[in-house]
A and B are shown apart, each in its own frame.
Chain A
Amino acid sequence: GAVVSQHPSWVICKSGTSVKIECRSLDFQATTMFWYRQFPKQSLMLMATSNEGSKATYEQGVEKDKFLINHASLTLSTLTVTSAHPEDSSFYICSAPDRGPGAFFGQGTRLTVV
């Protein structure tokens, strides 16, 4: 099946710095990708829809200036957490559409801000 790969799988950064997370579709093209975040012992919350060649669409309550999304190619979307703070520590997961209903998910990135 199709594979979606995230990098890095975990990252620790200092408060105030920025962190970039990559999401790649390895054997297919994805004009759309989705970014989710998951707090410990909670569900996945959709943050934004990443659109190749255009601006991302953010869900209500998600700060677009804090979570910068770039989808510059058909196989790569990036999420940059700017000026990270400890409350941004979370598990971030991306997905790309299946041919039919559904999506393929990356393995996730554990972000810890200290």
Chain B
Amino acid sequence: AQSVTQLGSHVSVSEGALVLLRCNYSSSVPPYLFWYVQYPNQGLQLLLKYTSAATLVKGINGFEAEFKKSETSFHLTKPSAHMSDAAEYFCAVSDDLSSASKIIFGSGTRLSIRP
């Protein structure tokens, strides 16, 4: 069964600093990988997704993630943090053996931005 592990339940960075949120996956087949953002009491917004087309995936709001098969990782980065980036971030995985829409989420990382 596929799963994702997010390292660090809380990450705090200064405004303008690099954002790095870590995610490692476990899957017996080539996975589809996602990063979602959730603001308080709201649903999920897709930041980006990896579907095997390219290992470096660019998403919305300046975020990007790189799929590294050798490290089974899909870390999320942003060169310069903005106050509006403060939110909960979820790494997620699915495969196409069952349903590519059945998404399994990591435990989440809360990102705080210091002024």
Residues of A within 8 A of B (CB): 6, 32, 34, 36, 42-46, 49, 91, 93, 95-98, 100-103, 105-108, 110
- Contact, CB under 8 Å: B43 / A102: no
Known: A102-B49, A105-B44, A108-B42. A43 touches B100 (CB 8 A): no
**Interface residues of A, dominant DSSP:** strand
| Other A-B pairs beyond A44-B105, A46-B102, A97-B101, 7, CB < 8 Å | A6-B43, A32-B99, A34-B102, A34-B103, A102-B32, A105-B44, A110-B41
Contacts of A45 in B (CB 8 A): 105
- Contact, CB under 8 Å: B44 / A102: no
Please report the total number of B residues contacting A with Cβ < 8 Å.
Answer: 23
Known: A101-B49, A102-B34, A102-B94. A95 touches B105 (CB 8 A): no
**Interface residues of B, dominant DSSP:** loop
- Is B77 an interface position by the 8 A CB rule? no
Contacts of B105 in A (CB 8 A): 36, 43-45
- Is B90 an interface position by the 8 A CB rule? yes
Q: Mark B30-48, 1 if CB is under 8 A from A, else 0.
A: 0010101000011110100
- Contact, CB under 8 Å: A95 / B101: yes
Contacts of A95 in B (CB 8 A): 101, 103
- Contact, CB under 8 Å: B103 / A106: no
Give complex CA distance A107, B102 in Å.
18
Chain B's closest residue to A6 (CB) is B43
Give complex CA distance A110, B40 in Å.
11
> Taking the nearest CB of chain B, how far is it from the CB of A38, in angstroms?
9
- Contact, CB under 8 Å: A103 / B106: no
Question: Can you report 25 A-B residue pairs in the complex whose CB atoms are below 8 A from each other?
Answer: A6-B43, A32-B101, A34-B101, A36-B105, A42-B108, A43-B105, A44-B105, A46-B103, A49-B99, A95-B103, A97-B100, A97-B101, A100-B51, A100-B100, A101-B49, A101-B96, A101-B100, A102-B32, A102-B34, A102-B49, A103-B103, A105-B36, A107-B43, A108-B41, A108-B43
